[in-house]
């Protein structure tokens, strides 16, 4: 299968209340690397298996939450094409010039019906520290902390997720991998893929627009989830739930909070998705197992605590 159009979630900008504490969390604990600090105080981070300049942007703010998530597309022509398609779909498109942040080319952005800002971009400079390409070692710099390999996906809460599903499938060519359908109210949650991952972005229906549930970083294996759990306890990081597994996506996982209360996930696994696969559906009878396959019960904090 050739992945064209939208390649992957590439950037996520998260608001933090205490930058020094946030850097300790994302760099020393999760295992990202600091790339640069901007004149406006934003801090740029990357994971060790990413080739691009950066993937995570920490924005100093007096309120926690998500500023935007940006997807990388396969070239400037694709970017221009998506701009037309988003406008034709019915959303206003704005432009962010290259140079707004280091290492990233021009971006286009829009606010989707859930109230979240979604951006697309085609160019990122290659990172100084990136995986080798000639007789490459498994890593150059020795991994640290939870050894996160990449920014992987995010889960967002907001209204109108039926419209959000249509936007991602019709305007950006995403596929539906999995969904939760309740008998009386319809889709409660959707997991969508732009490649072969079980999800690249997910949404849960929620009254307040623009809410942030979690940012996820991929680890190599289940042992690494256990090590992440050790780090979470050792450094008194606020735990949410895990280690456990999701029925939905089958990911093995642990959830915890950053020092500003934004939820983070480190996970591994999950099935491979192809766009010709049928949608997997969960209903209210087995939703507990869908969310937490081992506990088999819903957890109020996990479902309703947001930034």
Partner 1 sequence: MEMTESGGLAARKPAPPPSALLASDAAAPPHQIAVDGTARTVACRDGLSVLDAFEQARNPLAANGEAVVRVGCRRGGCGVCKVKITEGTVRTGPMSRAHVTEQEEAEGYVLACCAYPESDLTVASVPVAPRKLK
Indicate whether 258 belongs to the interface with partner 1 (CB under 8 A): yes
Q: Report, in Å, the least distance between residue 162 CB and partner 1.
A: 14
Alpha-carbon distance of 301 to 303, in angstroms, equals: 5
Binds partner 1 (CB under 8 A): choice among 64, 146, 155, 229: 64
Nearer to partner 1, 26 or 82 (CB): 26
Count of CB atoms within 10 A of residue 267's CB?
26
Which part of the chain contacts partner 1 (CB under 8 A), choosing from 69-77, 167-175, 220-228, 298-306? 298-306
Length of the chain: 307
Ramachandran region, residue 277 (left: φ > 0; alpha: ψ -120 to 50; beta: rest): beta
Closest CB to partner 1 among residues 73, 228: 228
* Residue found by looking up tokens 């390409």 in the block: 133
Subset of residues 66 to 125 that bind partner 1, contact rule: CB under 8 A: none
| 53 binding partner 1? (CB under 8 A) | no
Nearest-angstrom CA–CA distance, 92 and 74 = 22
Residue from 144, 227, 250, 289 in contact with partner 1 (CB under 8 A): 144
Q: Which residues are catalytic?
A: 153, 199, 214, 246, 255, 265
Structure tokens at 222: 């289940």
Only segment of 20-28, 85-93, 105-113, 265-273 that touches partner 1 (CB under 8 A): 20-28
C-alpha–C-alpha distance, residues 54 and 98, integer Å? 14
- Compute the half-sphere exposure of residue 102: CA atoms within 13 Å on the CB side of its CA: 20
The yes or no reply on residue 307 touching partner 1 (CB under 8 A) is yes
Cα–Cα nearest to 178, from 284, 303, 278: 278
Using rule CB under 8 A, residue 257 touches partner 1: yes
- The one among 129, 196, 279, 281 contacting partner 1 by CB under 8 A: 129
Q: How near is the Cβ of 213 to partner 1 at its closest, in Å?
A: 10
Instruction: Choose between 70 and 204: whose C-beta lies nearer to partner 1.
Output: 204
Cβ-based nearer residue to partner 1, 235 or 294: 235
Helices (H), ranges, 191-286: 222-234
Binding residues for partner 1, rule: CB under 8 A, are: 17-18, 23-24, 27-28, 31, 33-35, 62-65, 127-129, 141-142, 144-145, 185, 188, 204-208, 234-236, 238, 240, 257-263, 301, 303-307
């Amino acid at each position: 299968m050739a992945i064209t159009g939208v390649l992957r979630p590439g950037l996520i900008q998260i608001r933090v209340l205490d930058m020094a504490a946030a850097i300790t969390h994302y760099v020393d604990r999760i295992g990202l690397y600091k790339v640069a600090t901007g004149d406006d105080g934003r801090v740029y981070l990357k994971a060790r298996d990413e080739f691009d300049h950066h993937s995570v942007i920490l924005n100093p703010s007096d309120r926690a939450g998500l500023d935007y998530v940006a997807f990388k597309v396969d070239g400037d022509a694709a970017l221009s094409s998506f701009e037309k398609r988003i406008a034709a779909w019915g959303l206003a498109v704005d432009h962010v010039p290259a140079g707004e942040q280091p290492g990233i080319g021009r971006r286009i952005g829009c606010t989707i019906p859930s109230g979240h800002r979604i951006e697309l971009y085609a160019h990122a400079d290659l990172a100084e520290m990136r995986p080798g390409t000639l007789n490459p070692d498994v890593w150059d710099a020795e991994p640290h902390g939870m050894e996160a390999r990449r920014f992987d996906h995010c889960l967002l809460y907001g209204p109108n997720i039926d419209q959000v599903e249509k936007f991602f499938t019709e305007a950006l060519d995403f596929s539906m991998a999995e969904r939760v359908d309740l008998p009386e109210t319809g889709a409660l949650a959707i997991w969508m893929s732009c490649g072969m991952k079980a999800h690249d972005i997910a949404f849960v229906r929620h009254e307040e627009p623009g809410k942030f549930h979690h940012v996820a970083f991929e680890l190599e294996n289940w042992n690494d989830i256990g090590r992440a759990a050790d780090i979470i306890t050792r450094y008194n990081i606020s735990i949410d739930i895990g280690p456990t597994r999701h029925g939905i996506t089958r990911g093995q996982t642990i959830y915890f909070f950053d020092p500003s209360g934004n939820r983070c996930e480190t996970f591994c696994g999950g099935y491979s998705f192809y766009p010709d696969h049928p949608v997997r559906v969960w209903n209210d009878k087995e939703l507990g197992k869908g969310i937490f396959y081992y506990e088999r019960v819903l957890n109020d904090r996990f479902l309703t605590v947001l930034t």
